[in-house]
């Protein structure tokens, strides 16, 4: 029976939580964690006990759904997942959900070992589009095309080039993101002449953004604008990629005029000492926003949503700034699929139907800082209080958006580090690097292509 899902975080008594990703991440780089298997029923009391072993045998098989979750969520993220998201599925299906939280690279190794050894343990795999290629190309996933179609939900086609192959769907997207502007309302005092809060909401230009960042630094005596500059589990390439798209550049690439124009914006902020001095310690702006150390950022919407939803009166959420070609943003998705040889096939198929339910999806996205739903019908559920989610949806109507082509490269982390090298060169010299340097970095990028 469908649960009456609550949406308000206050009613849940939970902190707003961020997306771990790919595109989303915790505010400081996550340490490598050992694999951890958690049972949803252990996280909170259940009004309906899981089936006994005897009942499972009578039903003709196991009633335990085993999920490999390729990410290591923070404590508050895991609390929501285990106490609400997976627990609701348990209660609806009188089953137990066991979740193995493992780092992305370890998840690939785990599934590869299971599949190649035909030692099938995992039923459901949770993976992001930046790390999905090994699962699809390895033949480790089931064809869920008809299963997803049977749910009746309308999915975006934005990620089909990653979730699908040769017309076959292997993963169903569950949540995705774009990059948005977030400003502390104290920063509004330093807006360039003629601009208003409404302009920030609808989207200022990158030139105006740079002027604003420099004015804040001049007025406050320190830089308070941030990019996620930590290179461990780096997220820096995503906002840099969005800036490049806004000027007609590509992603990833380093030699176009558009990319150089984007670097010019970074150089202008650096020359005006506008950047937060400790930004290289963070992969997301949540903590510095919350502390007030950062007043302006262009960032992944989930960590921005975490700060906004915790103190909505403190912030302004706006569209991505515009370049000469319009606004630009990268986007990635987290997705579920069924592993080949899944021991609990029927339960796994029920889970795909569960995640396709618009109410379930809305509940999840609301709790993850306002990340976006890939399901069209969720738009009918949105309320006026869903500020971050609405900002992201509005952006999609006019913004140049590209997915994450990680599958095209042998080592996506190495691609990330190239962006970090270029960014740090700009910060050091407070100028756009020369063509020879960018050409050399482009050669390194090309060498990483599959």
Distance of alpha carbon 348 from the chain centroid? 24
Neighbours of 311 (CB within 10 A): 11
CB 232 within 8 A of CB 32: no
Label residue 9 exposed, middle or buried (CB < 10 Å: 0-12, 13-18, 19+): middle
Nearest Cα residue to 415 out of 161, 227, 238: 238
DSSP class of 83: I
Q: What is the pLDDT of residue 393?
A: 77
Q: What is the pLDDT of residue 57?
A: 39
Read out DSSP for 25-41? --SSPPPP---EEEEHH
Q: What is the pLDDT of residue 130?
A: 82
Nearest Cα residue to 228 out of 159, 189, 182: 182
Q: What is the pLDDT along the chain (450 residues), one digit of tens a residue?
A: 343 333 332 222 222 233 333 333 334 443 334 456 677 655 443 333 333 444 333 333 469 999 999 987 767 778 899 999 999 999 999 999 999 999 888 999 999 999 999 999 999 999 988 888 899 999 999 999 999 999 999 998 888 988 999 999 999 999 988 899 999 999 999 999 999 999 999 999 999 999 999 999 999 999 999 999 999 889 999 999 999 999 999 999 999 999 999 999 999 999 999 999 999 999 999 999 999 999 999 998 888 888 998 999 999 999 999 999 999 999 889 999 999 999 999 999 999 999 999 999 999 988 776 678 899 899 888 888 888 787 777 777 788 988 888 878 888 899 999 999 999 999 999 999 999 999 999 999 999 998
Q: What residues have CB less than 8 Å from 246, skipping those under 6 apart?
A: 206, 258, 262, 320, 321, 322, 323, 324, 325, 326, 327, 328, 400
DSSP-based three-state secondary structure for 139: coil
Q: What is the pLDDT of residue 332?
A: 83
CA distance 383 to 381: 7
Q: What residues have CB less than 8 Å from 96, skipping those under 6 apart?
A: 39, 40, 41, 50, 51, 63, 64, 65, 90
Q: What is the pLDDT of residue 292?
A: 97
Phi, psi of 283 (to 5 degrees): -105, 0
């Amino acid at each position: 029976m469908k649960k009456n899902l609550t949406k308000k975080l206050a009613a849940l008594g939970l902190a707003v939580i961020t997306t771990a990703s790919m595109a989303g991440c915790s505010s400081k780089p996550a340490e490598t964690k050992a694999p951890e298997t958690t049972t949803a029923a252990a996280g909170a009391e259940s009004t309906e006990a899981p089936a006994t072993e005897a009942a499972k045998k009578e039903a003709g098989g196991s009633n335990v759904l085993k999920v490999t979750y390729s990410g290591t969520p923070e404590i508050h993220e895991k609390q929501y997942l285990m106490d609400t998201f997976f627990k609701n599925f348990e209660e609806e299906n009188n089953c137990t959900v066991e979740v193995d939280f493992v780092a992305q690279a370890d998840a690939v190794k785990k599934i590869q070992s299971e599949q190649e050894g035909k030692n099938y343990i995992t039923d459901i795999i949770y993976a992001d589009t930046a790390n999905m290629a090994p699962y699809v190309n390895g033949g480790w996933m089931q064809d869920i095309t008809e299963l997803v179609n049977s749910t009746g939900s309308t999915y975006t086609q934005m990620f089909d080039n990653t979730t699908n192959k040769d017309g076959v769907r292997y993963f169903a997207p569950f949540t995705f993101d774009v990059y948005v502007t977030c400003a502390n309302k104290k920063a509004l005092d330093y807006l360039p002449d003629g601009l208003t809060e409404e302009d920030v909401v609808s989207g200022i230009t990158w030139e105006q953004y740079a002027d604003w960042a420099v004015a804040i630094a001049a007025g406050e005596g320190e830089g308070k604008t941030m990019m996620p500059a930590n290179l461990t589990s780096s997220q820096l390439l995503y906002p840099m990629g969005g800036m490049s798209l806004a000027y007609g550049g590509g992603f990833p690439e380093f030699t176009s005029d558009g990319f150089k124009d984007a670097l010019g914006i970074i150089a202008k902020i650096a020359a005006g000492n506008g950047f937060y001095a400790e930004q290289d310690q963070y992969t997301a702006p949540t903590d510095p926003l919350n502390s007030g150390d950062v007043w302006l950022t262009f960032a992944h919407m989930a960590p921005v949503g975490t700060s906004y939803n915790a103190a909505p009166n403190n912030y302004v959420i706006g569209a991505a700034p515009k370049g000469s070609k319009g606004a630009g943003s990268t986007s990635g998705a987290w997705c579920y699929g069924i592993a080949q040889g899944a021991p609990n096939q029927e339960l796994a198929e029920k889970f795909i139907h569960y995640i396709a339910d618009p109410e379930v999806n809305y509940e999840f996205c609301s709790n993850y800082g306002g990340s976006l739903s890939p399901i069209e019908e969720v738009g009918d559920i949105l309320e006026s209080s869903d500020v971050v989610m609405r900002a992201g949806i509005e952006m999609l109507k006019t913004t140049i958006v590209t997915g994450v082509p990680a599958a095209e490269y042998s080592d996506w982390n190495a691609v990330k580090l190239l962006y970090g090298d270029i960014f740090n060169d700009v910060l050091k010299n407070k100028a756009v690097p020369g063509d020879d340097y960018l050409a050399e970095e482009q050669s390194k990028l090309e060498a990483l292509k599959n």
